[in-house]
């Protein structure tokens, strides 16, 4: 992943929200992948290895938690950021423990998407450095 | 004596008992063998007290009679008494009409025709009776005076002889009896009189005080006498008896002598001793009475310990005293009126007449028994009375122990009774309210309409059943305080089921009402919170689609406008980004995007506030000093931009009345500050809007030790609010501000923060035109949750 262009996967069943994230990240020169469900996102992960994912929690079918649990096993070097519309939501403890999962929660609407981008890059950077150390 | 005739039962007992000695005597006579034949002895006598006395029944009594009856018993004589004067009796003796005569003094002339007993029955003195402190002090004073004597008196001759020897001249007056002699001296018809000194014994009390018997002149003896020759040989038996009697100290002769003569010299002593006995009895009864007043003594006797225990004991004592008085009156009446001349001791304890003693005891016993019976009845009555009083007392204490207010009225609605709770709720004391109409004391109105409600007494009497008052009844007390009450009114029925009055039972439900209001408030909040939580996700997603897209648009047209994608797309559209920008600016597109974003942000803020109804996070709490929190909030308010732009917070006078050394409060400082700021902001706005001249806040803090609450009061002098608004002030989305100025969530969020997040209390007091006071209570550290 020496390429400067980062790949990001947006997992959200809300089309407009997913699209707005996608637009934002494209404008910021990310390569963006989209999935409208957890199942589809896992399918994508069969072939792709994004640097980061923005994951919604409440989705039809597989919810965000299940997706992260499964994906983080497959792709432990990918950064995961949870972004939900439920303001009283708390990140489950088991996910919080994982290095690849940001412990900062973003509530939709994300009025400052730059913050989201910074957080994502921070985690990606941290994971890359760790990968280098490990060899 | 009085009692004796009244009671047939006692008279029957008396009769039976009177017969008993006769029965006994008859039996005695039958079994005693007769030695001599019965000899009839006729005895002539005249009254010479105390030797011979004629009693009320005309029967003879006295010393000589007692002696003769003793002699008659010994000799088997049957005595027949024939009464007459001295000369009558002498003539009868001489003519043989009587066999024996008593009593008679010794004279020479009599000696010729009659024989005397050897021994006298009684020895006495001739006496010159005078008046005490009269003109005669000694024998020689008689000269020139009138001196009386009883016809045929044996003292005439010896007195005449003595006075003649002394050469005294006086006038002799003959009277027919001793009583005439004494009454003559008393009335002054004559200065003196001569006679037997023994006659003094027969004087009544009045005469004995007047008549002086200290001048004696002639010793004499009174004998029994028979006609010359003693044909029936009577003197021997008499002589034997008298000789034997004189030589034996405890003989019946001496007994008779003592008995009959004691009245003469010891009369007054007996009276005094009798009075002493009566006095002693009275003192004894008085002591008993005093003892009976000591409750322990009464208890020991088993007398009733009641409200008026004296009543029964008093009756008992009265009966005792009465019986003594009756006995005393009886004795005194007998002594002074009926049986004059009988020695006092004889009457006091009638040895001669045992059934008289029995009757005395019986009459006294009857009175005492009657007293006991009546006293028992009274004891019962006073027990009943004390029970009645006790139950009244019980009712009183029970009524006053009831937690509810109770007012009782008669059927006219006049108050008869009320308990202490009713007193404090109505503001009327029982003494004032008693006798007043219920409506003037128990002033109730409908809480909603403010109109007076129907008098419950009338309702109960009309419907003849228990009625419950409307839920929203407001009681207005004497001092104008309003109480929400729940009330019921019931008829009071007597045993025969007729209605005698109405009893109202009511309680103050003001607090309950407030609590209900609060609970409704909380329910509302919680449901809003729950709703918000569910809604937030649903709203936030489309909102995110909208706002995030708007954000991307404004970025593409703003800071990221030189993106390759932008330029490429413009070229493909046959234009440049500059042209597009110019177009966008011209059409105000960026401003519209800002509008979308700002509006979106407000929606987010509302949702966030609503969600705080559902959040409760204990972890955020730390210790805070409420006074410092207040000070910081006031500073914040002064610099708050939103507040500044409308008016100057610094113009408001703030009076801080903080209690010192308050315990710390475990709380989320920022949230409490948010609450305080909300209140200050609301107050400031209200005061500004109402154009208050000297707007001010009074901020008080205090510690309520008993429930460990720190209380903050924030009072403004703003326009206040009416009941309707006050009730809704904490309601979510309720606002009096124009649309856009307030969301209507500030106070409800504050309420929620205090009550739900901090287990505190928040309330508001306000009246239209009188300012508003917010009261916040928070548990201090160490308080039970």
The enclosing H or E element of B779 equals strand B772-779
Rounded to whole angstroms, the Cα distance separating B168 from B331 reads: 46
- The verdict on B549 touching A (C-beta cutoff 8 Å) is yes
CA distance A29 to chain B (A): 9
Q: What is the pLDDT of residue B8?
A: 43
Q: What is the pLDDT of residue B699?
A: 94
Q: What is the pLDDT of residue B689?
A: 83
Measuring CA to CA, how many Å separate B223 from each of A68, B100, B107, B117, B178?
Answer: 161, 11, 11, 6, 19
CA distance A106 to chain B (A): 11
Q: What is the pLDDT of residue B343?
A: 67
Tell me how many degrees the CA angle B197-B201-B203 measures, rounded to the nearest 5: 105
Measuring CA to CA, how many Å separate B347 from each of B120, B327, B356, B367?
Answer: 28, 11, 9, 20
Q: Looking at the predicted structure, is the pLDDT value of residue B20 above 70?
A: no
CA distance A116 to chain B (A): 12
Q: What is the pLDDT of residue B176?
A: 83
Q: Which of A118-122, B520-524, B746-750 has the lowest mean pLDDT?
A: B520-524
Any idea of the CA torsion for B200, B201, B206, B209, to the nearest 10 degrees? 60
Cβ distance A20 to B548 less than 8 Å, yes or no, reads yes
Rounded to whole angstroms, the Cα distance separating B537 from B533 reads: 7
Q: Mean pLDDT, to the nearest integer, of B150-167?
A: 82
Q: What is the pLDDT of residue A80?
A: 95
8 A C-beta contact, residue A117 and residue A28: yes
What does the mean pLDDT of chain B come to? Answer: 80
Tell me how many degrees the CA angle B214-B219-B221 measures, rounded to the nearest 5: 125
Q: Which residue has the higher pLDDT, B713 or B308?
A: B713
Chain B environment of A85 (Cβ under 8 Å): 536-541, 544
Q: Looking at the predicted structure, is the pLDDT value of residue B537 above 80?
A: no
8 A C-beta contact, residue B382 and residue B309: yes
Rounded to whole angstroms, the Cα distance separating B625 from B778 reads: 12
- Report residue B347 as tokens: 């009457």
Cβ distance B611 to A16 less than 8 Å, yes or no, reads no
Q: Looking at the predicted structure, is the pLDDT value of residue B10 above 50?
A: no
Q: What is the pLDDT of residue B17?
A: 44
Q: What is the pLDDT of residue B28?
A: 41
Cβ distance A111 to B604 less than 8 Å, yes or no, reads yes
pLDDT band at B647 (very low <50, low <70, confident <90, very high): low
CA distance A107 to chain B (A): 8
Q: Mean pLDDT, to the nearest integer, of B766-770?
A: 85
Chain A environment of B539 (Cβ under 8 Å): 85
Burial code of A52-72, b = ≥16 C-beta within 10 A, e = fewer?
bbbbbbbbeebebbebbebbb
Nearest to A87 among B545, B563, B608 (CB): B608
Measuring CA to CA, how many Å separate B219 from each of B124, B213, B214, B215?
Answer: 6, 14, 13, 12
- B391-424 pLDDT, tens digit per residue, is 888 888 888 888 889 999 988 889 988 998 899 8
For the beta sheet containing B696-704, the strands, ordered from the edge strand earlier in sequence to the opposite edge, are: B653-657, B696-704, B709-716, B772-779, B761-766
- Report residue B773 as tokens: 């006071």
Q: Which of B194-198, B584-588, B611-615, B653-657 has the lowest mean pLDDT?
A: B611-615
- B308-330 pLDDT, tens digit per residue, is 556 677 777 777 788 778 778 87
Cβ distance A88 to B541 less than 8 Å, yes or no, reads no
pTM of full prediction above 0.95 = no
Among B364, B322, B371, B279, CA closest to B287: B279
Neighbours of B523 (CB within 10 A): 10
8 A C-beta contact, residue B778 and residue B639: no
Rounded to whole angstroms, the Cα distance separating B558 from B157 reads: 182
Q: What SS3 state is found at B505?
A: strand
Percent of chain B with pLDDT over 90: 7
- The verdict on A17 touching B (C-beta cutoff 8 Å) is yes
- The verdict on A5 touching B (C-beta cutoff 8 Å) is no
Cβ distance A109 to B548 less than 8 Å, yes or no, reads yes
Cβ distance A107 to B545 less than 8 Å, yes or no, reads no
Cβ distance B551 to A17 less than 8 Å, yes or no, reads no
Measuring CA to CA, how many Å separate B164 from each of B156, B168, B413?
Answer: 12, 6, 108
Rounded to whole angstroms, the Cα distance separating B160 from B172 reads: 9
Q: What is the pLDDT of residue B698?
A: 94
Q: Looking at the predicted structure, is the pLDDT value of residue B365 above 50?
A: yes
CA distance A89 to chain B (A): 10
Q: Which residue has the higher pLDDT, B275 or A29?
A: A29
Nearest to B540 among A26, A109, A113 (CB): A109
Cβ distance B544 to A23 less than 8 Å, yes or no, reads no
Report residue B388 CA to chain centroid gap. 11
The DSSP-derived string for B699-713 is EEEEEETTTTEEEEE
8 A C-beta contact, residue B222 and residue B104: yes
Q: Which of A9-23, B368-382, B511-525, B715-729 has the lowest mean pLDDT?
A: B511-525
DSSP B232: T
- Report residue B169 as tokens: 């001249």
Reply yes or no: is the peptide bond before residue B485 cis, omega within 30 of 0. Answer: no
Rounded to whole angstroms, the Cα distance separating B684 from B716 reads: 8
Measuring CA to CA, how many Å separate B546 from each of B238, B534, B592, B603?
Answer: 164, 20, 13, 12
Cβ distance B537 to A15 less than 8 Å, yes or no, reads no
Report residue B509 CA to chain centroid gap. 38
Q: Which residue has the higher pLDDT, B373 or B642?
A: B373
CA distance B569 to chain A (A): 13
8 A C-beta contact, residue B185 and residue B36: no
CA distance B670 to chain A (A): 19
Q: What is the pLDDT of residue B697?
A: 93
Q: What is the pLDDT of residue B310?
A: 65
Q: Longest Cα pair distance anywhere in chain A, in angstroms?
A: 40
Most confident of B116-125, B613-622, B656-665: B656-665
Q: What is the pLDDT of residue B340?
A: 62
Nearest to B545 among A20, A26, A27 (CB): A20
Chain B environment of A21 (Cβ under 8 Å): 548
Q: What is the pLDDT of residue B724?
A: 82
Nearest to A113 among B542, B548, B608 (CB): B548
Rounded to whole angstroms, the Cα distance separating B417 from B396 reads: 9
Q: Looking at the predicted structure, is the pLDDT value of residue B30 above 80?
A: no
Q: Looking at the predicted structure, is the pLDDT value of residue A37 above 90?
A: yes
Any idea of the CA torsion for B142, B147, B153, B158, to the nearest 10 degrees? 20
Burial class (CB in 10 A: 0-12, 13-18, 19+), B596: middle
Measuring CA to CA, how many Å separate B729 from each of B696, B725, B735, B764?
Answer: 21, 6, 8, 8
Measuring CA to CA, how many Å separate B553 from each of A21, B231, B367, B584?
Answer: 12, 184, 127, 11
- A49-73 pLDDT, tens digit per residue, is 999 999 999 888 898 999 999 999 9
Rounded to whole angstroms, the Cα distance separating B352 from B62 reads: 12
Nearest to B537 among A20, A26, A86 (CB): A86
Q: Which residues pair with B654 in a beta bridge?
A: B697
Cβ distance B544 to A19 less than 8 Å, yes or no, reads no
Q: What is the pLDDT of residue A90?
A: 83
Q: What is the pLDDT of residue B31?
A: 42
Burial code of B278-303, b = ≥16 C-beta within 10 A, e = fewer?
beebeeebeeebeebeeeeebeeeeb
- B205-222 pLDDT, tens digit per residue, is 778 888 888 888 888 788
The enclosing H or E element of A68 equals helix A64-74
Cβ distance A86 to B533 less than 8 Å, yes or no, reads yes
- Report residue B682 as tokens: 């609301």
Q: Looking at the predicted structure, is the pLDDT value of residue B633 above 60?
A: yes
Q: Looking at the predicted structure, is the pLDDT value of residue B144 above 60?
A: yes
- Report residue B760 as tokens: 């505190």
Q: Looking at the predicted structure, is the pLDDT value of residue B250 above 80?
A: no
Nearest to B544 among A58, A85, A88 (CB): A85
Q: Looking at the predicted structure, is the pLDDT value of residue B267 above 50?
A: no
**Taking a contact as any Cβ pair under 8 Å apart, which residues of chain A between 30 and 59 contact chain B?**
58
Tell me how many degrees the CA angle B7-B9-B12 measures, rounded to the nearest 5: 110
Q: Looking at the predicted structure, is the pLDDT value of residue B775 above 90?
A: yes
Cβ distance A23 to B549 less than 8 Å, yes or no, reads yes
Q: Mean pLDDT, to the nearest integer, of A75-90?
A: 87
CA distance A64 to chain B (A): 14
Q: Looking at the predicted structure, is the pLDDT value of residue B26 above 70?
A: no
Rounded to whole angstroms, the Cα distance separating A32 from A47 reads: 14
Q: What is the pLDDT of residue A132?
A: 67
Q: Looking at the predicted structure, is the pLDDT value of residue B34 above 60?
A: no
Chain B environment of A19 (Cβ under 8 Å): 545, 549
Cβ distance A88 to B536 less than 8 Å, yes or no, reads yes
- Report residue B426 as tokens: 């109505």
8 A C-beta contact, residue B191 and residue B130: yes
The DSSP-derived string for B436-452 is SBHHHHSEEEETTT-PB
């Amino acid at each position: 992943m020496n390429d400067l262009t980062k790949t990001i996967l947006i997992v959200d069943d809300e089309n407009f929200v997913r699209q707005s994230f996608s637009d934002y990240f494209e404008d910021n020169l990310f390569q963006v992948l989209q999935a409208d469900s957890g199942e589809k996102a896992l399918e994508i992960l069969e072939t792709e290895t994004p640097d980061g994912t923005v994951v919604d929690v409440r989705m039809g079918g597989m919810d965000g938690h299940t997706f992260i649990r499964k994906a983080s096993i497959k792709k432990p070097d990918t950064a995961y950021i949870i972004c939900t519309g439920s303001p009283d939501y708390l990140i489950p403890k088991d996910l919080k423990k994982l290095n690849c999962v940001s412990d900062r929660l973003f509530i939709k609407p994300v009025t400052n998407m730059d913050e989201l981008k910074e957080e994502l890059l921070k985690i990606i950077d941290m994971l890359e450095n760790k990968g280098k150390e490990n060899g | 004596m009085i009692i004796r005739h009244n009671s047939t039962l006692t008279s029957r007992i008396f009769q039976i008992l009177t017969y008993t000695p006769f029965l006994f005597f008859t039996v005695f006579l039958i079994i005693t063998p007769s030695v001599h034949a019965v000899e009839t002895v006729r005895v002539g006598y005249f009254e010479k007290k105390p030797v011979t006395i004629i009693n009320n029944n005309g029967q003879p009594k006295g010393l000589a009679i007692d002696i003769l009856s003793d002699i008659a018993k010994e000799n088997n004589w049957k005595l027949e008494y024939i009464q007459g004067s001295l000369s009558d009796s002498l003539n009868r003796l001489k003519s043989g009409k009587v066999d024996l005569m008593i009593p008679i003094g010794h004279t020479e002339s009599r000696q010729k025709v009659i024989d005397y007993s050897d021994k006298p029955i009684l020895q006495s003195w001739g006496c010159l009776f005078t008046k005490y402190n009269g003109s005669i002090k000694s024998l020689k004073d008689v000269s020139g005076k009138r001196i009386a004597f009883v016809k045929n008196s044996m003292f005439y001759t010896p007195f005449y002889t003595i006075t003649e020897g002394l050469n005294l001249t006086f006038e002799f007056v003959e009277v027919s009896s001793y009583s005439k002699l004494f009454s003559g001296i008393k009335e002054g018809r004559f200065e003196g009189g001569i006679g037997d000194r023994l006659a003094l014994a027969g004087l009544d009390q009045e005469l004995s005080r007047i008549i002086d018997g200290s001048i004696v002149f002639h010793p004499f003896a009174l004998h029994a006498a028979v006609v010359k020759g003693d044909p029936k040989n009577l003197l021997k038996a008499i002589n034997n008896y008298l000789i034997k009697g004189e030589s034996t100290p405890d003989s019946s002769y001496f007994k008779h002598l003592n008995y009959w003569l004691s009245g003469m010299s010891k009369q007054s002593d007996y009276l005094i001793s009798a009075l002493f006995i009566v006095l002693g009895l009275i003192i004894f009864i008085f002591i008993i009475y005093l003892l009976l007043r000591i409750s322990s003594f009464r208890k020991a006797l088993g007398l009733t310990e009641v409200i008026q225990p004296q009543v029964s004991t008093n009756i008992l004592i009265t009966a005792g005293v009465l019986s003594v008085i009756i006995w005393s009156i009886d004795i005194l009446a007998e002594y002074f009126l009926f049986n004059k001349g009988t020695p006092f001791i004889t009457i006091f304890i009638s040895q001669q007449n045992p059934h008289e003693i029995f009757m005395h005891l019986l009459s006294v016993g009857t009175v005492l028994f009657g007293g006991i019976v009546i006293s028992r009845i009274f004891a019962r009555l006073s027990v009943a009375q004390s029970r009645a009083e006790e139950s009244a007392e019980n009712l009183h204490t029970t009524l006053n122990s009831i937690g509810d207010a109770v007012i009782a009225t008669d059927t006219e609605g006049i108050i008869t009774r009320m308990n202490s709770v009713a007193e404090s709720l109505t503001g009327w004391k029982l003494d004032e309210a008693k006798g007043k109409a219920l409506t003037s004391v128990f002033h109730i109105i409908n809480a909603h309409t403010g109109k007076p409600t129907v008098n419950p007494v009338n309702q109960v009497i009309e419907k003849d059943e228990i009625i419950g008052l409307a839920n929203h009844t407001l009681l207005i007390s004497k001092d104008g305080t309003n109480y929400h009450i729940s009330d019921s009114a019931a008829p009071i029925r007597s045993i025969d089921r007729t209605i005698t009055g109405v009893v109202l039972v009511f309680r103050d439900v003001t607090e309950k009402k407030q609590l209900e209001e609060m609970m409704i408030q909380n329910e509302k909040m919680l449901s809003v919170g729950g709703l918000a939580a569910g809604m937030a996700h649903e709203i936030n997603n489309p909102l995110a689609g909208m706002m995030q897209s708007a954000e991307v648009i404004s970025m593409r047209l703003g800071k990221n406008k030189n993106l390759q994608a932008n330029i490429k797309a413009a070229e493909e559209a046959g234009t440049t980004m500059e042209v597009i920008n110019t177009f966008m600016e011209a059409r105000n597109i960026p401003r519209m995007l800002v509008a979308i974003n700002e509006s979106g942000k407000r929606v987010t803020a509302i949702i966030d506030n609503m969600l705080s109804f559902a959040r409760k996070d204990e972890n955020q709490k730390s210790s805070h000093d409420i006074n410092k929190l207040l000070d910081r909030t006031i500073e914040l308010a002064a610099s708050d931009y939103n507040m500044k732009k409308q008016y100057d917070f610094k113009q408001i006078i703030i009076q801080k009345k903080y209690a010192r050394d308050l315990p710390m409060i475990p709380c989320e400082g920022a949230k409490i500050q948010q609450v305080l700021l909300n209140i200050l902001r609301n107050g400031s706005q209200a005061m500004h809007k109402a154009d208050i001249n000297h707007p001010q806040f009074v901020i008080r803090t205090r510690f309520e030790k008993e429930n460990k609450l720190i209380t903050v009061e924030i009072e403004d002098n703003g326009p206040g609010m009416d009941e309707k608004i006050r009730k809704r002030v904490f309601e979510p989305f309720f606002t009096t501000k124009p649309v856009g100025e307030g969301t209507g969530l500030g106070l409800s969020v504050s309420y929620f923060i205090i009550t739900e997040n901090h287990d505190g209390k928040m309330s508001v007091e306000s009246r239209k035109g009188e300012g508003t006071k917010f009261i916040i209570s928070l548990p201090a550290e160490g308080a039970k949750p």
